Amino acid sequence: MRCVVSVLDVCVSHLFLQYSVVVDCGSSHTQFYVYKWEADKENGTAIITEASSCYADDHGISTYVNNPDLAGESLKECLTKAEAVIPPSKQASSPIYLGATAGMRLLRDVDVNSSRAIMQSVRNALSDSAFRFVNATSQARIIDGDEEGAYGWISVNYIAGKFGHFSPLEYFFQQSTVGALDLGGASTQITYVPANDVTLPAEYSKKLMLYGAEYDVYTHSFSCYGLKEAHRRFLAHLVQANNYSTSIVNPCAPSGNVTSLNFTSIFKAPCCHSDNTTAKNLTFHFSGSSDPDKCQTQVEQLFLFNKSCPSCSFNNVYQPALNGEFMAFSGFYYIVKDLNLTVNSAKFPLDEFENAAKQYCQKPWNEVSHLPNVSAAQAVQLCFNAQHMSTLLVKGYDFNETQWESLSFQDKIEGADLGWTVGFMLNTSNSLPAEYPRQRINTALFVLLLLLFIGFLLLSIGFILHSRRVARRNNAEYSRLSSSYGSI
């Protein structure tokens, strides 16, 4: 996950603008975004566009456990840049929000005091900014995984134009919504609208109101199944399966590579835990063996598949049948990008992905250690990432060969980043008053009036043409009669 700050520029007219800032704090880094939207809303929801962005930090705020004050400091550079985007006259009325995701959720589970100290640090930084920050606990908080999934779904469908909000004519021609698959560092989310005949259990349902329409979406967040935490759990599994031996074969790492890690870097709660006190001072050496079949077998040990629960994905979690198209982003996209699968298209067959993953997993370290745009750490972990993604999508979510065809892998749509911040702000805009509101007609009513106008226009043209034909016929008849009388 990432830590992102989003700035929204709300346009009421060419003279009146309203702004807001959103901060997304994930497990791996910090980023700022700038958006703008018309305060004169469409059926109660703003129409926004991305204006600019800023990376604030290469670390998630959850890493500042030993020095919480640095968490707030890490935001200040991008806060200054956001202030440069928003006119001084509007800064005091522009609200700022912060949402911390899986990294802080996990920290809160094991160390609530450190979690509180870090949140207080970032709240102090936001309070010292020029933006409107009047309710610290609601404007800067840890959001739950289902919220993150729902906001990601809103973002994907908004940016893809699935709500019929960019043009009134789209109201009658909009396509079905797209499911959202997000893979971060500490958690992963799946969110989509199931078939019409499915009644969702309350704990798996989110009701969203956007542009005058209500959507009942299925969403679930799997904690500890993001790439960073899943890999940590995998290494812990190998250590325990080898009875805490310090020399361990890693079938998912390239042969010729040796990675050494100490006990505390592997067994980090809440995703990994060990009661073995005698091993706490040990360093474990993982030697790669480039064995894709054994890698897949070991990765699947991280999942609980219950054949007696056909309506479950894994870990006894309910999931309705997949429905419609899906867009996979964040970690999903970066994995297939590193496997060179997104060069020509955002879509590719399942067997192409599986073959690319297997070929990579068979390569030794000297063939993958210098790949362009892939760091050494990424090269070591890419085989695991691909197998984890395969298990999650195919065996977990049930994207079989046919259903896989509904998947597309994207990082941006028309230059806009995919993530949860756009969805968060759109959902929040439902409760933000529009400044200088103007009376606007409903989109459907506008389209109906437009069609009626076109219909009346065509009828008028038809009536005029018909009248001209009648007039010509009458003139011709008059001329014929005149000629007849003249000859008598």
Whether 186 has a binding-site annotation, put simply, is yes
pLDDT of amino acid 436? 39
pLDDT at 65 over 50: yes
- What confidence score (pLDDT) does residue 43 get? 56
Residue 226 in marked binding region:
no
Is pLDDT of 1 > 70? no
For residue 450, pLDDT beyond 50: yes
- Please report the pLDDT score of residue 11 as a whole number: 40
Cis preceding-peptide flag for 437 (omega within 30 of 0): no
Is 79 or 166 the better-scoring residue by pLDDT? 79
Opening angle at CA 30, ends 27 and 33, nearest 5:
130
The better pLDDT of the pair 470, 86 is held by 86
Q: Where are the alpha helices (DSSP H) in 92-220?
A: 102-110, 112-127, 136-139, 145-159
pLDDT of residue 488: 40
Q: Residue 457 has what pLDDT?
A: 82
In the chain the domains, ranked by start, together with CATH numbers, are 2-145+415-429 (3.30.420.40), 176-409 (3.30.420.150)
Read off the pTM: 0.82
| Whether 424 contacts 22, CB under 8 Å | yes
Q: How confident is the model at residue 173 (pLDDT cuts 50, 70, 90)?
A: very low
The per-residue pLDDT for 303 is 97
Look at 475 and 8; give whichever has higher pLDDT: 475
161 is in an annotated binding site: no
- Which is higher by pLDDT, 198 or 414? 198
What's the pLDDT score for residue 41? Answer: 58
Contacts of 271 (CB under 8 A, 6+ apart): 106, 186, 223, 224, 229, 232, 233
pLDDT given for residue 172 in this prediction? 47
pLDDT bin (cut points 50, 70, 90) of residue 16 is low
DSSP class of 421: H
d(CA 459, CA 155): 43
Measured CA to CA in angstroms, residue 381 lies from 241, 360, 374, 375, 411 at distances of 19, 11, 11, 10, 20
Summarised one tens digit per residue, pLDDT across range 352-410 is 999 999 999 999 999 999 988 899 999 999 999 999 999 999 999 999 999 999 999 99
Question: Which has the higher per-residue pLDDT, 437 or 107?
Answer: 107
Task: Taking residues 209-214, report their average pLDDT.
Answer: 82
Which of 148, 229, 325, 354 does the annotation list as catalytic? Answer: 148
Question: pLDDT tens across 312-357, in order?
Answer: 999 999 999 999 999 999 999 999 999 999 988 899 999 999 999 9
Give the per-residue pLDDT at 197: 85
Question: For this structure, is 77 an active site residue?
Answer: no
pLDDT tens-digit readout, 252-265: 999 999 999 999 99
Look at residues 155, 477, 181 and name the one whose alpha carbon lies nearest to residue 332.
181
**Can you tell me the distance from the alpha carbon of 220 to that of 320, in angstroms, rounded to the nearest whole number?**
11
For residue 171, the model assigns a pLDDT of 46
Rounded distance, CA 332 to CA 10, Å? Answer: 32
Confidence of residue 186 (pLDDT cuts 50, 70, 90): very high
pLDDT value, residue 455:
80
Minimal CA–CA distance to 183: which of 144, 141, 219, 221?
221
Residue 438 reports pLDDT greater than 50 = no
* Start-end of H helices in 292-409: 292-299, 331-338, 350-361, 365-368, 376-390
Place of tokens 């007849």: 484
Express each pLDDT in 26-50 by its tens digit: 888 888 887 776 666 555 566 677 7
Query: Considering only 114-123, 203-212, 368-377, 463-472, which range has the smallest mean pLDDT?
Result: 463-472
User: Residue 228's pLDDT band (boundaries 50, 70, 90)?
Assistant: very high
Tell me whether residue 189 is annotated as binding: yes
Which range has highest mean pLDDT (9-23, 121-135, 155-169)? 121-135
Segment 78-93 mean pLDDT: 90
Give me the half-sphere count of Cα atoms (radius 13 Å) on the Cβ side of residue 456.
6
